[in-house]
Amino acid sequence: MAPAHADIDCHMRFNLSGWSVFYKTATGSGTITCNNGQSMHVHIRAKGGGLTFGKTEVDDGHGAFTGVYNIREVLGHYATAEAHAGASASADSQVLTKGNVSLALSGKGRGWNLGIAFGAFIIEP
């Protein structure tokens, strides 16, 4: 039997689209599944500011969580900081943290973007 406080492996598949003109905003949805059988559908928001311009769309993005003991721990606000430049099709990856929980994101998308942005990546039920 596994210890009561063993890490579980949780992964997220998501779609996200948004725009930025100084203020960056994006919304989307996804599904989180864990190796202990838990799963949940989630809403995703990304917001922030900086010197940033563009429009992007990510289809079939992937996320991997670490430091998780219960699926509910993946919910909340993750801090972000990014520099980006791209046009047409692009790929990106980023690691975000929220306390002891880390989220490694990767995805391919379409659109164009240029700038530096700081903000939050928010996962809600």
Where do the domains of the chain lie? 10-118
Q: Which residue has the higher pLDDT, 29 or 25?
A: 29
Looking at residue 104, its pLDDT comes to: 92
pLDDT higher for 66 or 81?
Answer: 66
- For residue 107, what are the contacts with CB-CB under 8 A and spacing of at least 6? 14, 16, 58, 59, 60, 61, 62, 91, 92, 93
- What is the tens place of the pLDDT at every residue in 72-115? 999 999 988 766 666 666 666 788 899 999 999 988 877 767 66
Higher pLDDT, 47 or 21: 47
**Stretch 27-40: mean pLDDT, rounded?**
97
Amino acid at 87: A
Determine the pLDDT at residue 52: 73
Tokens for 65, please give them: 């969580």
Report the predicted TM-score, pTM, of the whole model to 2 decimal places: 0.84
